[in-house]
């Protein structure tokens, strides 16, 4: 009887010793991509350039750069020299008036009185026009505030120069009518209306400059005092005149010196105050314009520096193939 085959072993082979465990070699770098996967939104395939190649365009989506200014500061006019010319013309006009009263009337002297005030009026209108142009360029209009207009300012100044002349003519006409009929009420009413209208018309350019000063950030009260302080001085002078200044000076005859003192009090005091307030108001207006322009310039320079410090943007996006790499 042939021998039976040996029964199969039911026990597993014993594991090899620890020191004899075979080690599997690590895969090479060409088999594993250790770089982090790009975001899905920034991953684009370019079949037209290199097939099966990933082109990644980096975009700085976390940048919060906001420019302070989107355009350079505008060009403005330098009006500081007009302030000096205006103040000098006003002071020369006052001095010439006093010298004329002391020396006596004359055709040449009367022309010398009119000349400095004519120069002052022209310089004032010229300064006002340039200041309104600068204010309009620096401060834009709002739904509640209109833009500064040089034409409006010039027109209001011309009306303010004409209004007193017309008022004086009405007053002269009223004097002639009162000489004929002192009880004419109609003449008194017409005269009062003419004086009131002239007062309002003269106030209009000062009111316009006060509004524009408030619009650009200048103290409007200082500009308003440009009108009200000389008016208060004029009222005070009229009170002094009504209290008997002329009778006091004319006691024993009016001499040239006494006539000059009267003119200095009646005309010189309000005109000196008007010259000082004009200097103050124009200086404040010009200083605010200059500060605004310097601030605009500083913010524009900071914007340029911030733009230069920004990281280089990624590849520009194509409308058909999407973002393109920097090397294509």
Average pLDDT over residues 163-186: 88
pLDDT of residue 244: 81
pLDDT of residue 31: 44
Q: How many CB atoms lie within 10 A of CB 180?
A: 8
Q: Give the ranges where 243-316 is alpha helix by DSSP (H).
A: 245-249, 256-263, 269-308
pLDDT-based confidence at residue 69 (cuts at 50, 70, 90): confident
pLDDT of residue 99: 86
pLDDT digits (tens, 9 = 90+) for 227-244: 999 999 999 988 888 888
Q: Which residue has the higher pLDDT, 30 or 229?
A: 229
- CA dist., res. 253 & res. 267, Å (int): 21
DSSP 4: P
pLDDT of residue 261: 85
pLDDT-based confidence at residue 262 (cuts at 50, 70, 90): confident
* Main-chain phi, psi angles of 17, to 5 degrees: -60, 160
* Main-chain phi, psi angles of 230, to 5 degrees: -60, -35
pLDDT digits (tens, 9 = 90+) for 125-173: 999 999 999 999 999 888 888 899 999 999 999 999 999 999 999 999 9
Radius of gyration from C-alpha coordinates of the chain: 44
Query: Contact, 161 vs 122, CB < 8 A?
Result: no
pLDDT digits (tens, 9 = 90+) for 86-118: 999 999 999 998 888 887 665 566 777 889 999
What is the pLDDT of the chain when averaged over all its residues? Answer: 80
Angle ∠(132,137,138) on CA atoms, nearest 5: 100
3-state helix, strand, coil in the chain (%, to 5): 65, 5, 35
Average pLDDT over residues 220-227: 94
pLDDT of residue 227: 96
- CA dist., res. 79 & res. 128, Å (int): 9
User: Does position 41 have pLDDT exceeding 50, yes or no?
Assistant: no
Q: Which residue has the higher pLDDT, 133 or 258?
A: 133
Q: Which residue has the higher pLDDT, 265 or 50?
A: 265
């Amino acid at each position: 009887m042939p021998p039976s085959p040996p029964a199969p072993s039911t026990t597993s082979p014993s594991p090899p010793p620890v020191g004899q465990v075979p080690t599997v070699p690590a895969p090479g770098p060409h088999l594993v991509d250790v770089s982090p996967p790009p975001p899905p939104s920034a991953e684009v395939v370019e079949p037209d350039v290199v097939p099966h190649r990933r082109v990644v365009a980096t975009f700085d989506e976390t940048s919060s750069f906001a420019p302070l200014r989107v355009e350079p500061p505008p060009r403005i006019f330098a009006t500081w020299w007009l302030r000096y010319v205006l103040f000098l013309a006003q002071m020369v006009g006052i001095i010439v008036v006093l010298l004329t009263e002391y020396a006596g009337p004359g055709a040449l002297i009367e022309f010398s009185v009119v000349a400095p005030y004519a120069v002052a009026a022209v310089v004032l209108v010229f300064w006002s026009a340039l200041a309104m142009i600068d204010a309009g360029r620096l401060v834009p209009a709002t739904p509640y505030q209109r833009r500064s207009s040089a034409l409006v300012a010039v027109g209001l100044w011309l009306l303010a120069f004409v209004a007193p002349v017309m008022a004086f003519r009405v007053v002269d006409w009223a004097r002639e009518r009162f000489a004929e009929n002192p009880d004419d009420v109609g003449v008194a009413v017409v005269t009062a209306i003419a004086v009131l209208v002239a007062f309002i018309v003269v106030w209009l350019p000062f009111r316009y400059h006060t509004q524009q000063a408030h619009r650009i950030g200048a103290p409007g009260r200082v500009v308003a005092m440009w009108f009200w302080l000389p008016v208060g001085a004029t009222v005070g002078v009229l009170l002094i005149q009504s209290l008997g200044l002329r009778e006091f000076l004319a006691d024993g005859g009016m001499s040239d010196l006494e006539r000059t003192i009267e003119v200095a009090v009646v005309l010189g005091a309000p005109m000196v105050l008007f010259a000082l307030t004009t200097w103050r108001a124009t200086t404040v207006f010009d200083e605010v314009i200059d500060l605004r322009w310097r601030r605009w310039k500083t913010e524009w320079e900071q914007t340029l520096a911030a733009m230069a410090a920004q990281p280089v943007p990624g590849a520009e996006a194509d409308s058909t193939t999407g973002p393109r790499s920097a090397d294509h």
